[in-house]
Amino acid sequence: ERYAEWIANNIVDNIFAGFRGIKSVILVGGGALLVEDYLHEWYGDKLLNRKKQAATRKIHPVDFNAVGGLRFALRRIKAGSPAS
């Protein structure tokens, strides 16, 4: 919770003005798991709820960033699925 508070205070509020004027935000990376529930509570629908979206429901937040996306694509190719 303290990490989520730090992100909210220092990044969301100070840099992005509490997401004013931003339609939605996607949390990416390993830290997303640590803070997503708190940020959803504080910023509501501004954050994409990856658990409720068909396109993101089965994707781990670590796989949302560029390096994670590459790992995800390589796993799909190795499993015989297209990387689209």
10-22 pLDDT, tens digit each = 999 999 999 999 9
* Whole-angstrom distance, CA of residue 45 vs CA of residue 48: 7
Q: What is the mean pLDDT of the chain?
A: 86
Least confident interval from 4-8, 51-55, 57-61, 65-69: 65-69
Q: Which two tokens stand for residue 63?
A: 């796989």
> Is the CB of residue 50 less than 8 Å from the CB of residue 37?
no
- The pLDDT tens digits for 23-58 are 989 888 778 889 999 999 999 999 988 888 887 888
Place of tokens 């940020």: 39
| Domain regions of the chain by residue span | 2-78
Q: Which two tokens stand for residue 81?
A: 């699925």
Nearest 5°: phi and psi at 28? -130, 160
